[in-house]
Amino acid sequence: MEFTAQQIAHLISGQVEGDAGAKVNSVAKIEEGKPGALSFLANPKYTSYIYETNSSVVIVNNDFVAERPVKATLIRVADAYTAFARLLELYNKTADNKMGISSMAFISPTAKLSDDVYVGEFAVVGERAVIGKGVKIYPQVFVGDDCVVDEGTILYPGVKLYAGTQVGKRCIIHAGVVAGSDGFGFAPQADGTYNKVPQTGNVVIEDDVEIGANTTIDRATLGSTIIRRGVKLDNLIQIAHNVEVGEHTVIAAQTGISGSTRLGARCMIGGQVGFAGHLTIADETKLGAQSGVGSNIKEKGQLLIGTPAIPIGDFKRVHVHFKNLDEMAKRLRQLEERLNQLDAGNGGAA
């Protein structure tokens, strides 16, 4: 498809600076621009490329000031990154407008599906499941008995929703996600064996959540494991039974959250962070990558890092000493040797 700069500006409420009729039919990073491509400039680190790029149209922030001539047509907007993301979203909706139910899908007679859903090959929709308007269920997805998938949600290939899982509106769940598998609950016995504790709850995923590939969310022992609205989860995350993730929290890959921990709203969690169980994490907490959290975080808005996680300022001061430990150990040995020599010179007298 081909669009003019003016058409694009209309879609993102921007102002054209240059040739309003400039045409684009592809997108490219600004440093890899070519004729007919649309790019954007949001990070100041890439500013130099705007003077060199071959892209035909570039989206920039309103406050961008050119220091020398720019050959590309510019579209000025309040936030170039958000505007470009909006365009990509519109493109994906146009390019990926699948409809209809494959003859090779299995739909339970007791399931309820809206007329405009898409269900791909070898997908399974179980008994009493409810599938809302505009939902897209890609091939090899499993939607278990009594599941609810609300309008506009996308389930990419290989997603598995165990029985009773509830998914809200406009969610995006990527390939390989498993929601509703049993929590890791085992009761130790006197003879050293373990008895499985039945997991009878479910998983609730609220509106506008995105879950990355191969992330797993365990069903609750009792009640629900809850992913609140607006949460964004990266790939390869483990969320245990009865966890609650607060609204608009973002979590990077390979993070693990143990059972019954509650994360507050608008938290930012780096990659490979580990949480012990039964913790409460305050709103707007930020945790650096590979942090280990073993106790409650009560104060809102803290930035912490390390294992155990401590405030970033304390961590930096401790890290300075940690880097010098080898030198400090050498100096300590030298001092001990000197003291021993002085003690020997005094005939061992105190």
How far apart CA 104 and CA 119 sit, in angstroms, is 9
How far apart CA 101 and CA 94 sit, in angstroms, is 19
Classified as helix, coil or strand, 98 is: coil
Q: Which residue among the candidates 241, 248, 278, 319 is catalytic per the annotation?
A: 241
Phi, psi of 333 (to 5 degrees): -65, -40
Rounded to the nearest angstrom, the gap between the alpha carbon of residue 305 and the centroid of all alpha carbons in its chain is 19
The reply to whether 174 belongs to the active site is no
Helices and strands, counts by H and E, the chain? 4, 40
- Counting every residue, how long is the chain? 350
How far apart CA 161 and CA 169 sit, in angstroms, is 15
Which amino acid, one-letter code, is at 105?
A
Phi, psi of 44 (to 5 degrees): -55, -25
Query: 311: which residues sit within 8 A by CB, 6+ positions away?
Result: 302, 303, 304
Which residues carry out catalysis?
241
